[in-house]
Each structure stands twice: as C-alpha cells, then as structure tokens.
Amino acid sequence: MHKMAFTAVVVLLGVAPALAQTSPPLEQQRTIELPGVTGKFDHFAIDLHGRRLFAAATGNHSVEIVDLAKNQVIESIAGLGKPHGLAWVETTQSLYVADGALAELRLYRGNPFKLAGKIKLSDDADDLVLDEAAHSLYIGHGGANAANPARIAVVDVDTFTLTADIPTSAHPEALDFDAKGHRVFANIADSGEVAVVDSTTHRLSAQWKLQQASDNVPMAYDPEHAVLFIACRTPAVLLALDATNGHEFARLPTGTGADDLFYDSRLQRVYVIAGAGEVHAYQFDGQKSLKPLPMLPTAAGAKTALFVPAHSLLYVGIPGAGAHAAEIRVYATPSSPQSAAGSR
C-alpha cells in the first residue's frame, strides 16, 4: 500500500514538469473590438499613467487610441498615410508618429489630439526608440533610392528638432536601445547586419554581419545579460547575439514572417510575433541556452504586438477584413496578476 502510494507520487512528480512544459506561455485575457477599422496594424505604444493604448492601424491610415479601463476606442487620428512607429512620451505629454507614406515624424498633443508639428524625413519612416535620459527619439527611415538615403534620424523630443541624421547601409527596420552602454541597435534587413550607433556621438560604432541569415526585421535587447535577440525571415530563425561583440551563440527555428519581438525580463522569455498568425515563445536561461515553448496561434496577418512588462500583458493586433472589424487580443502570462481577469 505504502509502496504503491510512493510510486504514484513519483509518477505524478515526473508528469508535472511535462505538463508544465506543454501549458501555453500566454493565456488570452480579453478582446478589444475596433469597429470600422480595417487592414493590418504596425507598431503600438502605451500610456501607462493614462491607461491608453495607441495602435498604428496602417491599413486604416489611422492611429487608434484605446481606453484600457473601458476596453474601447475613445479617439482616432485619421488622414494619415502609413503610420508605423509610435512613441508616447510622458514628460512632454505627446504622441510621436512615424508615417512612412508621408515621410514625416508627426507630433500630436492635446485632448483630443491635434497635430502640433512635423519633421520631414525620407520615405518609409518606420520604427523608433526613445532614449529617455537624453530626451531623444531615434527613427529609422529611407533607403528606397539615392534620393531617399537610409538614415537613423535623432529628434529632441523637448524642442521637436532634428539633431542628427545617421547614415546606414540600407533601410533600418527595428531599433532598440542600450541605456547603460549608450548604444542604439538597428536591424538592417536588406544587408543582413546589425548597425550599432553610439548615442553620445551619433556615429556608427560597429556593424555586425549575421551568418547565414538575413531579412532580420524585429529585435529585442536584454540589458541584464547583454543579449540581443533577433528574428530573421530568411531562413525563419531566432538568433541570440552577445551584445558586447555581436557573436551569435544560439539559434532556433521560429515562425514565418516575423515582424515583432519582445523580451520578458521577469520570466526570461522571448516572444516572436509571426505574420503566419503565431506567437512563438522561448525560455532563456540567462547564459547560452534557448528552449522553445508551446506555440500560441492567433490569426492570419497578426504580425505586430506590444508587450507591456509592467502588466505582463501582450497586446496583439488582429487585422480587419470584409465584415470582420479589426481587434486587439490581450494575452497575459499565466503567473500575471492580470491573467485572472475574464475575457470578453
């Protein structure tokens, strides 16, 4: 009797890790409907204090502002070309929008939002990242032709002036910032490399060529372990680079058409948002090892998202088509306090 009980406990203990490994890394918490919004999304931004989510509805030529307390759209900035990168800056109470078709960085303020300024850039103004300490925005733009050279623009958010325009070999895709090392990382997808910019001198300090991988679109930086995670489309792989020298130390298959990537420092997990309609999650051990976790299916064309570490929530943009309006699905990590909330 006692032997059988002991055996059962051993078996259960052996099964528990296996069950944990197959449980989803994210759980859907709720859905936010966006009536009348069609087409695909690009990037998102968050106003933590005001509990607002900003969504670049590129296919709808608008930026949608969502009240997260009410789970509904409260405002829409219409008449845009192709809004891509977004940044909400608390210190200036301003929303910054990089518009690829208008080739501009636009500044919006007020309630409701009104256009307060614009800076001309090259075509395909894209992703952007904020250096909070220096009050500077870095915006990737250009690269289509000689008349629109590839650059990383630097804008002072307080004065809304262009302070530098750094040349790159081709169009910059995703950007991320290393506050401790005073560096900006930029994925240069067309040449399969990572450009590293010194944020104090605004000069290119390094160029890291990827090995047997290109179309490197999204990235995320882990400052604690000095690791740069990069998702490539050709082939579809996730790379982990030593951010001190650019050397690759891990590589795993990932989803097709990766367009966004986030690092969850609390759980040491990587989330790759793939255009095939999947979120691919990976566990990082903080040293040299990446392990795939169960894949989360979303919807076809759901290629961009925003992970908010303060709430352990992932907001995924679901494109609208035909009679089906766009929506934003909210996913929580299982251990998140937000995950207990019901979905709608």
Q: Does pTM surpass 0.85?
A: yes
Q: How many residues does the chain have?
A: 344
Collapsing DSSP to helix, strand or coil, 229 comes out as: strand
End-to-end C-alpha distance for the chain, whole angstroms: 48
DSSP annotation string for 16-72 = HHHHHHHS-S-EEEEEEEETT--B----EEEETTTTEEEEEEGGGTEEEEEETTTTE
The structural architecture, per CATH, of the domain 43-340 is 7 Propeller (2.130)
| Predicted confidence (pLDDT) per residue in 71-103, tens digit | 999 999 999 999 999 999 999 999 999 999 999
So what's the pLDDT on residue 181?
97
DSSP character string of 282-315: EEE-SSS-EEE---EE--TT---EEEETTTTEEE
pLDDT, tens only, 299-344: 999 999 999 999 999 999 999 988 889 999 999 998 765 554 444 4
Residue 272 CA to residue 262 CA, distance in Å, equals: 7
- Asked if 188 and 171 count as a contact pair (C-beta separation under 8 A), the reply is yes
Share of the chain above pLDDT 70, in %: 91
The answer to whether 237 and 254 are in contact (CB under 8 A) is yes
Query: What confidence tier does 3 reach under pLDDT thresholds 50, 70, 90?
Result: very low
What pLDDT was estimated at residue 322? 82
All structural domains of the chain with their residue ranges: 43-340
Distance between CA atoms of 256 and 254, rounded to whole angstroms? 7
